[in-house]
Chain A
Amino acid sequence: MRIEIAGQNALIVYFADRTDSAVSAQIQAAVASIRDSMRDCIVDLVPSYASLLVIFDLDRSDYFAVRRRLHAALTGLDSVDGAAGELITLPVYYGAESGPDLELIAERGGISAADVIEIHQQQEYRVYAIGFAPGFAYLGEVDERIAAPRLATPRQKVPRGAVAIADRQTAVYPSISPGGWNLIGLCPTRMFDPARTPSMPVKVGDRVRFEAISRDDYISLGGEL
């Protein structure tokens, strides 16, 4: 573990050079520990793949005190068998109509579109980070057979709920936005709804499973085409 300066009121903790579920679990435990013991001076925490950005209130503390307290809060975390997080199931209407890049991914992997759909549902994903846009959760890691690089030319408009793959990550677009990920389906669950509490169905450290639904189910669950 390494703590570096990020900015005038921010430090960044690097937990590892690469990511996996153990590193992510450790970061999740760190977030809980810091929230618990440093509430008086922490403004924001940004957990990501292998790091945690800690933004503090410069009117309440300074770099040196925060660094010292971070050390204390993070001591002993190495051995924590990170809480598994909640398991959330997200329904997906897969297919050519909802996932224009499904065929492309199948061709790349030398498998059928049905295989892509099957493989995407086979495993549990971990929420590694939330960012890019409100409610955008980076889920990893997808099976290598269905991994695919970002599109050379990003789309101007990706629909809300689009289920997508980029490299070995998968995500559900929380709102209409430009985007370069490969689209394989549509999810009727709102990933970000400011009017609701909580506004997101997932948080960093949670586990996500995808489950195929029919077009009719997608519509009846509030999905739009």
Chain B
Amino acid sequence: MSGFVVRQPGLLSLLHDRGRYGAHDLGLTTGGPLDFIAFDWANRLLGNDPNATCLEVSFGGLTLEADTATSVVVTGAEAPCKLNGAEFPQWQTVDLAPGDRLEIGFAIRGTRTYLAVSGGFDIAPSFGSSSTVVREKIGGLCGDKLQAQDHLPCSGGVQSTHYRLDAGDRPRYGDFARLRVVPGYQQDAFDAVQQWRFFSSEYRLTERCDRMGFRLEGESVHSQMVGMLSEGICLGAIQIPADGQPIVLMNDRQTIGGYPKIGSVIAQDTARLSQLSPGAAVRFDAISIEQAHNIHCLERARFERTRMQPC
């Protein structure tokens, strides 16, 4: 099948669709794009199915060679992108011819870029999804991150109409994010003072941030929980172990765990968190479940109503 050959795999490049749902009962995690906002735009700009398989390129360093004529879009973190050595813009359709060399350099702002191709990469789903979870050796190509010489199959096809997203409509990536939190789980085990500390302090990302969880450091917070039974963990859950330093659990989290949790960051903001680098700062804002639902609906409506510009 036609597609791409991986010349340089980059630090961590993973094939993902929207994620693996309905397999938690086997202990399989969700996976899926850390920043679903950039992922969704990449597919939409190409007119792909919203669940089409893309590449999530963490930090950068990817070089691919096309062996077919196709169109691509790169969204997400700002990174130098080159086609046969010449820079090309992100957030817009670009055509490739067989033999073309596509490079995604190291991210300048943000950390994750998304590369979509016409029709998506053609990856057989396992447990209903193509998403790669390296820890589980599931999804993608043999459950692993991209390696040099891997072949990424896709059906090819050049887009007749090219689109771009206006700069003003693109997400902005920086070194700070406000993370909106729905309090829940063991929040009652954190007394008023502890909750006040948590929601009024600034935390920084440590070096220990990966697809399973982002470990933060700052004002320590303690609960009155002594020993608890392991229970199901959802996306964004904020686990606070005995050292008092929060961990925000991300797409590749273990499905069950036994540390107290003060609540969960909403998905729109785990996406934003995933674009930050170690040393970046975050603050947590408590919101109601009604607000959390409202944000989901508003962001969805905004996504659908934002017009792409033909170009």
Contact = CB atoms under 8 A, between A and B. Distances in A.
A7 interface: yes
B interface, how many residues as a size bin? 35 or more
Interface stretch (A49-57, A141-149, A182-190): A49-57
B232 A6 contact: yes
B185 A8 contact: no
A7 B229 contact: no
B165 interface: no
A6 B296 CA distance: 16
A interface, how many residues as a size bin? 35 or more
Interface in B2-36: 21-28
Pick from A43, A131, A133 the residue with the most CB of B within 10 Å: A131
Interface stretch (A93-101, A105-113, A192-200): A192-200
A205 B76 CA distance: 43
B27 A134 contact: yes
A83 to B, nearest CB: 16
Nearest to B287: A8
B127 interface: yes
Contacts of B157: none
Interface string A1-43: 0001111111010000011000000000000000000000001
B21 to A, nearest CB: 5
A44 B30 CA distance: 10
Given A44-B21, A48-B230, A131-B256, A200 B26 contact: yes
A170 B183 CA distance: 33
Contacts of A10: 232, 234, 264
Contact of B182 (A5, A55, A135): A5
B230 A44 contact: no
A53 B184 CA distance: 12
Pick from A5, A45, A129, A138 the residue with the most CB of B within 10 Å: A5
Nearest to A169: B230
Contacts of B292: 8
A194 B231 contact: no
A129 B232 CA distance: 9
Nearest to B22: A44
Contacts of B184: 4-7, 12
A130 interface: yes
Given A135-B26, A194-B127, A199-B26, A19 B229 contact: yes
Nearest to B249: A7
Nearest to B23: A44
Nearest to B290: A63
B141 to A, nearest CB: 14
Interface string B19-61: 0011111111000000000000000000000000000000000
Nearest to A130: B27
A203 interface: yes
A21 to B, nearest CB: 14
Contacts of B257: 131
Interface of B: 21-28, 126-127, 135-138, 182-185, 229-237, 254-257, 263-264, 266-267, 289, 292-293, 296, 300
28 contacts: A5-B185, A5-B289, A6-B184, A7-B182, A7-B234, A7-B264, A7-B266, A8-B236, A10-B232, A44-B22, A44-B25, A47-B25, A47-B232, A53-B231, A53-B233, A53-B234, A58-B293, A62-B293, A129-B230, A129-B256, A130-B255, A131-B254, A131-B257, A132-B27, A132-B256, A133-B136, A135-B26, A135-B27
Given A8-B293, A131-B230, 5 more contacts: A18-B229, A46-B231, A46-B232, A58-B296, A134-B27
Pairs of residues from A and B, 6 with the lowest C-beta to C-beta distance, nearest first: A53-B232, A46-B232, A7-B264, A131-B256, A5-B184, A10-B234
